[in-house]
Amino acid sequence: MELRHLRAFVVVAEELNFRRAAERLGISQPPLSQMIKKLERGVGTTLLQRTTRRVTLTAAGAAFLVEARRALDAVQAASDRAREAAAGHSGHVRLGFTGPGSYQVLLDLARRFREQRPGVRLETVAPYLTGELLEMLHRGEIDAALVRLPVSTTGLRVREITRERFLVALPADHRFADRTEITVPDLRDQPLIGYPARRGSVLTTAIHGAFHRHGMSPTIRQEAPDMHTAMVLAGAGRGVGLVLETARHLKVPGVVLVPLSGGPEVPLALAWREDDPGPALRAMVELLDGDGTCLLDGDGTCLLDGDGTC
Answer with the residue of higher pLDDT: 189 or 199: 189
The CA-based angle 6-8-10, given to 5 degrees, is 70
pLDDT-based confidence at residue 117 (cuts at 50, 70, 90): confident
CATH fold match for the domains 91-161+266-289 and 164-265? yes
Q: How many CB atoms are closer than 10 A to CB 262? A: 15
pLDDT (0 to 100) of residue 276: 65
CB 283 within 8 A of CB 117: yes
Q: Where are the domains of the chain?
A: 3-86, 91-161+266-289, 164-265
Query: E strands, the chain, where?
Result: 48-50, 55-57, 91-96, 120-125, 144-148, 156-171, 182-183, 191-194, 219-223, 240-244, 255-261, 265-273
Q: State yes or no: pLDDT of 295 exceeds 60.
A: no
pLDDT per position as a tens digit, 152-185? 888 999 999 999 999 999 999 999 999 999 999 9
Q: Are 17 and 55 in contact (CB under 8 A)?
A: yes
- Residue with the bigger pLDDT between 23 and 295: it is 23
3-state class (DSSP) for residue 195:
coil
Fold of 91-161+266-289: D-Maltodextrin-Binding Protein; domain 2 (3.40.190)
- pLDDT-derived band at 87 (thresholds 50, 70, 90) equals low
- Kind of pairing between the strands at 191-194 and 240-244: parallel
- Higher pLDDT: 101 or 267? It is 267
Q: pTM (2 decimals)?
A: 0.65
For β-strands 255-261 and 156-171, DSSP reports them as: antiparallel
- According to the model, what pLDDT value does residue 294 have? 38
* Architecture per CATH, 164-265: 3-Layer(aba) Sandwich (3.40)
Q: Burial, 139: exposed, middle or buried (Cβ in 10 Å; 0-12, 13-18, 19+)?
A: exposed
Considering 45-54, 106-115, 122-131, 251-260, the range whose residues carry the highest mean pLDDT is: 251-260
Looking at residue 85, what is its pLDDT?
Answer: 67
Q: For 98-254, list the strands marked E by DSSP.
A: 120-125, 144-148, 156-171, 182-183, 191-194, 219-223, 240-244
| Dihedral sign computed on CA atoms, order 252, 255, 257, 263 | negative
Let me know: does 189 contact 216? Beta carbons within 8 Å.
Answer: no
| Residue 292: pLDDT band with limits 50, 70, 90 | very low
The CA distance from 119 to 169, in Å, is 41
Q: What is the pLDDT of residue 284?
A: 87
Domain 3-86 has what CATH class?
Answer: mainly alpha
pLDDT in tens, 119-134: 888 999 877 888 889 9
CB 143 within 8 A of CB 157: no
Q: At 89, is the pLDDT very low, low, confident or very high (cuts 50, 70, 90)?
A: low
pLDDT tens digit string along 29-49? 999 999 999 999 999 999 999
State whether residue 38 is helix, strand or coil.
helix
